Amino acid sequence: MIEVREALGLVLEGLPLLEGEMVALPASRGRVLAEEIRSPRDVPPFRNSAMDGYAVRSADIAHAGAERPVRLSVLETIGAGSVASQPVGDGQSIRIMTGAPVPEGADTVVRVEDTDAGDVEVAVQVAVENGSNIRHPGEDVRAGDVVFEVGRILRAADIGVLASIGVSVVRVVRKPRVAILATGDELVEVGQPLGPGQIVNSNAYTLAAAVEEVGCEAVVTGIVRDRPEAMREAFARGLRADAMLSTGGVSVGNFDFVRSILAELGYRESFWKVAQKPGKPISHGRCGTTPVFGLPGNPVSALVCFYVYVVPALRTMMRLRDVHLTALRATLDGEVSSPERLTEFVRCALDGPLDALRARSTGSQSSGVLRSLSIGDGLIVSPKGESKLRDGSAVRVILLRPDLGSAEMPL
Ligand code: AMP
Ligand code: MG
């Protein structure tokens, strides 16, 4: 059986990268930049005041003090958005508000708090260093600077930077469309009454939400029954998406047809079964260039496999650089036993400050118990070859936060 690291390596090999599309700036939050952005202009675009005060010549106030205020005439008052009608000369000042262009002749702004706030004449009570309280053109961004590189996920401050340099439309990576097919004769949709032997198709809802959390578009088809014809038809349709996920039907049961149906559709399987728990029966491969993940039906197995394999694949297709989930170091509270032949992902809660985290198991590790994943924050990695993690030992925890990325494999 293949190991987790090796399997993850195969998943990431030769994935198709998605092309860009233009979107209006307000729609770009959370999207991935598909172009390098160079600033066409300086920010700020002109020399302006950082304070409400008086624009002066610093030489005039070099000897000002609380006991010996220097009196200057006030030529006019300018607010942000207006420009002085005259330069500042010796013995003169212009009253200026934050953001207004500093007038010609002035080299310094004195804060209003350091004056008597006069209208016609002002008494400056402090000697302020030349150049004080002035913001210079290009101090924030210089024309020609590369402000963002391809692969950046745009956040609020980034969008502000783009606006300030005048970018109103931006090229972002097209969102991958991810088809989700839940297979199983026992499944019914949420809200429907349960007949004998039936359960809710929770996987489709979990995975659709998980796909959206990564910034992709979920294309959910109805329940696919465990019959070859139904599967063939649904899978052929699912393969029109950029990636396809199925759940159930990949194990060794009598009605586990997923792999054989995929094979009829040209599936080249790169692995089936990984030395891990949960999620051992996962199948992965390609149809053409489209990545296909045959996820196990157990809800925890499906979601853990999604985090470990599908997230890095989708993030790669989205041209992100740091595609893996983030791993943290933590101290184990309590003892965890796990099968020695497998890598086990143990659902855990995290407590304490980031540099002194404590991890404890959230209880039942049965692959049907989704609650213990829902209340958890991460997955303790119990490496192959370990049968017991002792109380107080240092453990690696995969943080279940697909919005954060890491350059390194988490195990
Ligand atoms: P399978 O992999 O098809 O053998 O399914 C394994 C277990 O997962 C069974 O107990 C199924 O009932 C359950 N299961 C399969 N598909 C789903 C689903 N879409 N939602 C919730 N549970 C499921
Ligand atoms: Mg099934």
Does a structural domain hold residue 36?
yes
Same domain? 184 vs 295: yes
Condensed to tens digits (0 to 9), the pLDDT of residues 208-217 reads 999 999 999 9
User: Measured on CA atoms in the order 182, 188, 194, 198, is the torsion positive or negative?
Assistant: negative
Two tokens at 386? Answer: 């370990």
Q: Is the pLDDT of residue 402 over 90?
A: no
Residue 230 included in any domain: yes
* Residue 28 sits in the same domain as residue 166: yes
Residue 411 in any domain: the answer is: no
CATH of the domain at 55: 2.170.190.11
Q: Is 186 in the pocket of ligand 1 (CB under 6 A)?
A: yes
What is the Å distance from ligand 1's center to 198 Cα?
Answer: 10
Tell me the C-alpha distance between 174 and 357, whole Å.
37
**What is the pLDDT at residue 190?**
97
pLDDT above 90 for 237: yes
Which H helix or E strand runs over 290?
strand 290-295
The total of structural domains in the chain comes to 4
Summarised one tens digit per residue, pLDDT across range 158-178 is 999 999 999 999 999 999 999
Residue in 180, 181, 185, 203 to alter for ligand 1 test, most ligand atoms within 8 A of Cβ: 203
Can you give the CATH number for the domain in which 253 is found? 3.40.980.10
Whether residues 58 and 108 fall in one domain: yes
Let me know whether 109 and 244 are in one domain. Answer: no
User: Is the CB of residue 294 below 6 angstroms from any atom belonging to ligand 1?
Assistant: no
CB 259 within 8 A of CB 267: yes
Q: Lowest-pLDDT range, 86-90, 222-226, 326-330, 371-375?
A: 371-375
Q: At 365, which CATH number?
A: 2.40.340.10
- With a 6 Å cutoff on the Cβ, whether 248 touches ligand 1 is yes
Ligand 1 centroid – CA 380 distance (Å)? 24
Tracing tokens 């809200």 back to the chain, one arrives at 191
378 lines ligand 1 (CB under 6 A): no
Tell me: do 184 and 283 sit in the same domain: yes
Do 147 and 29 fall into the same domain?
yes
Instruction: Give residue 36's domain range.
Output: 20-42+142-173
Indicate whether 127 and 146 sit together in one domain: no
Same domain, 126 and 187: no
Domain endpoint, select from 135, 157, 183: 135
Report whether pLDDT(207) > 90: yes
| Ligand of minimum distance to the alpha carbon of 227 | 2
For the chain, the C-alpha Rg in angstroms (whole number) is: 31
Q: How far, in Å, CA of 111 to CA of 383, rounded?
A: 62
What are the tens digits of pLDDT across the range 3-62?
999 999 999 999 999 999 999 999 999 999 999 999 999 999 999 999 999 999 999 999
Say if residue 342 is in the same domain as residue 357: yes
Residue 289 and residue 211 share a domain: yes
Any ligand 1 atom below 6 A from CB of 301: no
What ligand has the least distance to the C-alpha of 252?
1
Beta carbons within 10 angstroms of residue 367's beta carbon: 20
Residue 73 has pLDDT above 90, yes or no: yes
Does any ligand 1 atom lie closer than 6 A to the CB of residue 278?
no
Task: Let me know whether 162 and 103 are in one domain.
Answer: no
**CATH number for the domain that contains residue 147:** 3.90.105.10
Mean pLDDT score, 231-258 = 97
What are 178's two structure tokens? 């991810």
Q: Clarify whether residues 127 and 212 are in a common domain.
A: no
What is the chain's mean pLDDT, rounded? 97
Ligand 1 contacts CB of residue 209 (under 6 A): no
